[in-house]
């Protein structure tokens, strides 16, 4: 297994990575970083959660570090993202990874005032993260200069196309200088993306981390609707009832994983957590004990669970539903290996029903419901015609939204205004 030191990254970046608690590069980082440092174009088939942001942000930062500090500041890197949330997250990652480097970065997206964005652009920035619509707006008004772009990243290309951004992307591509390094990331690779990739990548290297075909037929899946606060009691019941000998419980966060291990312990259930904050030594040890059957349960986050290859896992629990439907397939694919059968439970609270809709759409079937448990919560059942993925935002746990609270409030106010406006119109 490679480590960050061997990838050729500067100490300033290694310090930041270390502070974040990353012990080892994820596969897309281990493969992508050397290629990008080498100046190659890259086509990455990788979904959110694989660590792809660091895979492109670290080499970009490293290259910026090597530039002449006396040269005038220009936008050197442009990252296009389909949604404002993703754009804000990428920008936030640049703050984290670039904390020991003197660089300026900025995120711009629509739905908020353009004034502060224009002011930042005027002061000069190195890295611009943008959604296509607002970028084009500002370009047309002459506020953005893309003549010095050296790196162009098109992130979540499949979502871009789904959201109808193809014409905007083509317009932006037409403005960029010819000599530049290009990166395209997409969770899937339909022919439309392959065509787009061909149109602007040069001799690109490809990294394919798409989920391999996993036969989920042998897995007995079920969903249990439950209040968020009852999940920990429910997991105790289900684990005990099923006499689980080798099971993996998936949580969305590292803290959630730690908390759950403590709660299970109180209920007399032995479990170990593995996630990115644990040292490699601790993770390996936990995995070893699990493999040997000395501890019946692992509590894992998605990123830590990659690479876990344990035979004979009988049960998988989606304690929190993943926000990417593909992760669900990855998770439950940990059981029913080598022709064996397996059981997968999904706990769904009322803020997760949109995720469930997305998962069912991906796997092409409705997951049977277990309704005869003590904590059944009918309100969590998806509404008819509920859209996939759109869930109620929990401001307590969603840091991106917390950071953008003002924008969210503004959006809500403007939504309310629009609603009032249409009501008035109806009344007239
Ligand atoms: P991304 O796929 O870029 O959205 O990253 C998903 C999550 O993985 C983020 O929360 C990152 O902080 C985290 N992450 C990225 N790289 C690593 C790593 N090498 N080790 C542990 N966590 C990581």
Contact between 28 and 209 (Cβ < 8 Å): yes
Q: Helix (H, G, I), strand (E, B), or coil: what is residue 324? A: coil
- Predicted pLDDT at 304: 64
Q: Is 179 exposed, middle or buried (0-12, 13-18, 19+ CB in 10 A)?
A: exposed
Mean pLDDT of the chain: 86
pLDDT confidence tier of residue 216, bands split at 50, 70 and 90: low
Contacts of 93 (CB under 8 A, 6+ apart): 53, 54, 57
- Predicted pLDDT at 416: 38
Q: Verify whether ligand 1 is closer than 6 Å to residue 322 (CB atom).
A: no
Q: Quick check: pTM over 0.95?
A: no
Please list the residue range(s) of the chain that carry CATH number 3.40.50.300: 4-208, 212-401
| Four-CA torsion 173, 176, 178, 183, nearest 10 degrees | -60
Q: How far is CA 121 from CA 53, 127, 163, 358, in A?
A: 23, 10, 26, 38
pLDDT digits (tens, 9 = 90+) for 40-98: 999 999 877 789 999 999 999 999 998 877 788 899 999 999 988 889 999 999 999 99
pLDDT digits (tens, 9 = 90+) for 409-424: 344 444 433 333 333 3
Q: Verify whether ligand 1 is closer than 6 Å to residue 49 (CB atom).
A: yes
pLDDT digits (tens, 9 = 90+) for 131-181: 999 999 999 999 999 999 999 999 999 889 888 899 999 999 999 999 999
Indicate if the pLDDT at residue 342 is higher than 60.
yes
Q: 212-401 has which fold?
A: Rossmann fold (3.40.50)
Q: 65-103: string of b/e by CB count within 10 Å (b at 16+)?
A: beeeeeeeeebbbbbbbbebbbbbbbbbbbeebbeebeb
Contact between 358 and 382 (Cβ < 8 Å): no
- Token pair of 282 as six digits: 């601790």
Q: How far is CA 259 from CA 18, 173, 203, 252, 266, in A?
A: 23, 47, 47, 12, 11
Query: Which residue has its alpha carbon closest to ligand 1 atom 6?
Result: 49
Q: How far is CA 348 from CA 67, 317, 327, 380, in A?
A: 49, 11, 15, 7
> Which is the closest atom of ligand 1 to the Cα of 26?
19
| C-alpha of residue 80 to centroid of ligand 1, in Å | 19
Residue of 7, 20, 81, 303 to test ligand 1 pocket, by largest number of atoms within 8 Å of CB: 303
- Phi and psi torsions of 402, nearest 5°: -65, -45
First-to-last alpha carbon distance for the chain, in angstroms, is: 69
Most confident of 313-322, 360-369, 384-393: 313-322
CATH code at 4-208: 3.40.50.300
- Predicted pLDDT at 7: 94
């Amino acid at each position: 297994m490679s480590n960050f030191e061997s990838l050729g990254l500067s100490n300033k970046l290694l310090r930041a990575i270390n502070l974040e608690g990353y012990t080892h590069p994820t596969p897309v980082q281990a493969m992508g970083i050397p290629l990008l440092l080498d100046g190659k174009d890259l086509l990455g088939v990788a979904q959110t959660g694989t660590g792809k942001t660091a895979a492109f942000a670290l080499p970009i930062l490293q290259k910026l570090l090597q530039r002449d500090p006396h040269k005038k500041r220009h936008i050197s890197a442009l990252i296009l993202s389909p949604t404002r949330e993703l754009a804000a997250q990428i920008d936030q990652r640049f703050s984290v990874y670039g904390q020991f480097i003197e660089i300026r970065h900025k995120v711009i997206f629509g739905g908020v005032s353009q004034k502060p964005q224009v002011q930042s652009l005027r002061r000069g920035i190195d890295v611009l993260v943008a959604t296509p619509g607002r970028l084009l707006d500002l370009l047309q008004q002459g506020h953005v200069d893309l003549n010095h772009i050296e790196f162009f990243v098109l992130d979540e290309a499949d979502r871009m196309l789904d959201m109808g951004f193809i014409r905007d992307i083509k317009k932006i591509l037409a403005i960029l200088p010819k000599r530049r390094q290009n990166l395209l990331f997409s969770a899937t690779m339909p022919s439309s993306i392959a065509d787009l990739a061909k149109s602007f990548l040069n001799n690109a290297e490809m990294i394919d981390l798409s989920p391999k075909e996993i036969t989920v037929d042998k897995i007995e899946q079920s969903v249990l609707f439950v209040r968020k606060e009852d999940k920990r009691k429910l997991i105790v019941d289900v684990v005990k009832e099923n006499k689980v000998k080798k099971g993996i419980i998936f949580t969305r966060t590292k803290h959630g994983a730690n908390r759950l291990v403590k709660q299970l312990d109180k209920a007399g259930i032995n479990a170990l957590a593995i996630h990115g904050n644990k040292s490699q030594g601790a993770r390996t040890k936990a995995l070893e004990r699990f493999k040997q059957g000395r501890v019946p349960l692992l509590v894992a986050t998605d990123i830590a669970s990659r690479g876990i290859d344990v035979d004979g896992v009988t049960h998988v629990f989606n304690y929190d539903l993943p926000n990417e439907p593909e992760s669900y397939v990855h998770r439950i694919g940990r059981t029913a290996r080598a022709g064996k059968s397996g059981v997968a439970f999904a706990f769904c609270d009322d803020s997760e029903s949109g995720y469930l809709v997305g998962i069912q759409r991906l796997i092409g079937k409705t997951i049977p419901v277990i309704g005869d448990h003590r904590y059944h919560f009918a309100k969590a059942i998806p509404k008819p015609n509920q859209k996939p993925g759109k869930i109620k935002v929990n401001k307590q746990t969603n840091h991106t939204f917390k950071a953008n609270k003002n924008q969210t409030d503004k959006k809500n106010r403007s939504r309310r205004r629009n609603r009032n406006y249409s009501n008035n119109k109806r009344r007239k």
